[in-house]
Chain A
């Protein structure tokens, strides 16, 4: 069943605690034998499925290279090598519901011939090692992991990872509960004998059209990085699946213009619009607030803007996937997908506004091609003074001139 997957990536806390020999807080939390320490640490509800992966989604290209026994990841305290051994320990200790197996992936550039061979060998070794240690026959009943292991399928041709796939189909088959895929092409290449396993795909879809294409190809769980991106950009999703049929739309003549996938709440047309984000939407944001408020919150850079947009956009995605499941059950999926493609624009509207203030690990990574992460060292005192001023006052500066202020009734020119 397709569903908006909840992927939780806990940042590696090791580096901070290595220095003073304290245990990593995540591992130190007292938890019962069948209790997930991860769930307890992040104070998550019991009915929330926890999927545990080594990389954030979408992943960030890492400067150091992977090795035979570890993968390079970007943590909240910089790049680090995550050892396969450590990852295993984390799974055993934290008890997530689903584990994404380690894979030697090259993020960004396409791997060359030699690297491809290495990728397969390493991933094969990671999978064998992990499944042996988590579910091996020599383990006692209570030391065997309850987490469902999703084995990675590399974004390569089947012929290039033949040995690994054969092993997944035979020796490894009893230990794996699902597959983790990294490109849509892998969906149609999954060997038949692994066909009954759920497939979670990390392909970085950019629109709901991409999601539908992947579901059509057989994806079951999908990650949706465009959801948070849209919220950050001040966009409220406007699409539903199946698309509303042309005769139920207000004008009875067939549509000429495709419908937009999202509405931009930065647009000035929202300034005094007291309608909901989407008519008939039952989400909290649409039931309790109106466009004029969202527009105000965005332009005032109030955090609530992005909270409400996330609520609305998540709600829209939940309905989108519910629609997909029903459509598949009815047997009308392919037809509904065609209608959706004809009804909606192929891209999201262009972003006009600014996003929220970035914090911590959300800051862009540094690199030669990236803009400077930190401002220049000189003039630091000015920055400190600026920060101090910010902490001292909820400073608001009018972004209009004297005429604007007078028009606002704020004050008059003299």
Chain B
């Protein structure tokens, strides 16, 4: 691979203020200033796939405290399409959202959703699902679409393959190709003054490949850096090793985004390993299936045991769903959500509000702990509450946190 080609300095449309680093772990509290407002990091970003967060109005999303949400390039490219986005004036105007948007490149969906997609040096080749015509999605197409969407953070098109793939040659090729595609994305990017292009570190579970990729991509000096290709069914220990290795090599003054992470334990471990941003559809999808996220784990509200449970989803939670009526909330009970589950979409909306709020608040609590340099104590109390007692904390969590200097099992 050719290294260090002459490169023009890349403009950035963000500022990143690192406010405090945890004195024990690699966790950081920072503020990311983007074109549509300031975002406190670490952060969880909910996914509004098709320019709508599953039934919520954008005022309801604002009430959860969300400052940055995702849209999917693949979906917006199909509906409403680039011509409409250009005419309407981008995704912010389309959906009436005046805060920040991040879009992925569409590559992941291409590979995971379309049969017979084949990745070549030019781009992703696929057969049009309607008429079978061979087609090609290139890094240039992806960036052009994301330019039309006008998202505050755009992602490079990367060569995504499952981390669990046994084909090491293919993983190596994908990593190197992702670097070459990054160069094409940088060249194709028309609005670097208003949209921030993030690179995506690839390399599967091979730490040497990851190191090489970090080195190559950091040299390209994008405004932010994502760690991709994870959350694909690999062992948690492997996931932690990759995140830990990458954050160790990334510059301190840039935001780090781990893609596709949404379980609360993964988020908190991710923060301890030095990541700042996370996204996942799981918290909002599981809400539609009746699962509530609470500090003691996940509650399946469709279970009969909740039919007579007249408590709030989580006592003390100040989301609109849980907040008592006297305090201006809706005062929704578990029994009512059990009653609505799978009958009325309102149940799905109410739980979506709670789950998004819960994760944003959780990240806010982690941030506060980092700012007060109390993060190790936060980790111990969070994991003890989540699993009920210390011996139940999974060994991968214990191991990952030990690696950054915290013994969660001690009092």
Could you tell me which A residues sit within 8 Å of B by CB distance? 13, 17, 22-23, 25, 28-30, 41-43, 45, 76, 271-272, 274, 284, 288-290, 292-293, 295-297, 299-300, 302-304, 306-308, 356, 359-361, 391, 393-402, 404-414
Contacts and interface: CB of A to CB of B under 8 A. Distances in A.
B184 interface: no
A17 B144 CA distance: 57
B349 interface: yes
B96 interface: yes
A402 B84 contact: no
B348 interface: yes
Given A296-B51, A401-B131, A391 B78 contact: no
8 contacts: A45-B325, A274-B93, A295-B80, A297-B50, A302-B54, A391-B285, A408-B77, A414-B135
B331 A43 contact: yes
Given A274-B88, A393-B113, A399-B130, A409 B310 contact: no
A174 B45 CA distance: 60
A411 B141 contact: yes
A330 to B, nearest CB: 36
B6 interface: no
**Residue of B72, B88, B134 with highest tally of chain A CB at under 10 A:** B88
B187 interface: no
A30 B50 CA distance: 42
B130 A401 contact: yes
B88 A396 contact: no
Given A359-B345, A394-B75, A405-B135, A43 B333 contact: yes
A303 B345 contact: yes
Interface string B69-99: 0001011011111111001110001111000
B330 interface: yes
A407 B344 CA distance: 38
A398 B131 CA distance: 11
B51 A398 contact: no
A352 B137 CA distance: 33
B80 A410 contact: no
A162 to B, nearest CB: 43
Given A407-B83, A408-B78, A288 B135 contact: no
B81 A410 contact: yes
A22 B343 contact: no
Given A396-B78, A409-B82, 19 more contacts: A29-B310, A43-B332, A288-B58, A289-B96, A293-B94, A296-B51, A296-B79, A300-B50, A303-B348, A304-B52, A356-B345, A359-B342, A391-B289, A393-B113, A402-B135, A406-B135, A408-B77, A412-B141, A413-B135
A29 B335 contact: yes
Nearest to A288: B96
B333 A28 contact: no
**Residue of B57, B72, B82, B125 with highest tally of chain A CB at under 10 A:** B57
Contact of A293 (B74, B96, B338): B96
Contacts of B49: 394, 396
**Residue of B74, B134, B308 with highest tally of chain A CB at under 10 A:** B308
A402 B133 contact: yes
A213 to B, nearest CB: 32
A292 B81 contact: no
Interface string B323-366: 00100001111011011001111001100000000000000000
Interface in B103-157: 109, 112-113, 123, 125-126, 128-131, 133-138, 141, 144-145, 148
A394 B281 contact: yes
